Amino acid sequence: MLKIEIKPNEGIERALKRYKRKRKMTKLMQDIRENQFYRKKSNLRRETIKKARYKQQYLLEHDEQ
């Protein structure tokens, strides 16, 4: 659980902003969405290979230009 200590003379808006930033950095929501449905390890591996191929091809195309 994330804890945010409110500093003296700090507004609640600023504290909320710090909380949201910390939450985003921990990728909590992304993990929850990822674990919402079960995915087989073979499918995960296939997806990572597909992403890596796309990324490599994208970088090669932009390096030539």
22 domain residue, yes or no: yes
What is the per-residue pLDDT across 10-37, written as a single tens digit (0 to 9) for each? Answer: 999 999 999 988 888 888 888 888 889 9
Give the 3-state secondary structure of residue 9: coil
pLDDT recorded at residue 26? 85
Per the structure, the complete domain to which residue 52 belongs is given by 12-64
54 domain residue, yes or no: yes
28 domain residue, yes or no: yes
- Amino acid letter at 23? R
Q: pTM for the full model?
A: 0.50
Does the pLDDT value for residue 61 go beyond 80? yes
pLDDT recorded at residue 29? 80
pLDDT recorded at residue 44? 94
The CA distances from residue 54 to 31, 44, 49, 51, 60, in Å, are 23, 15, 9, 5, 10
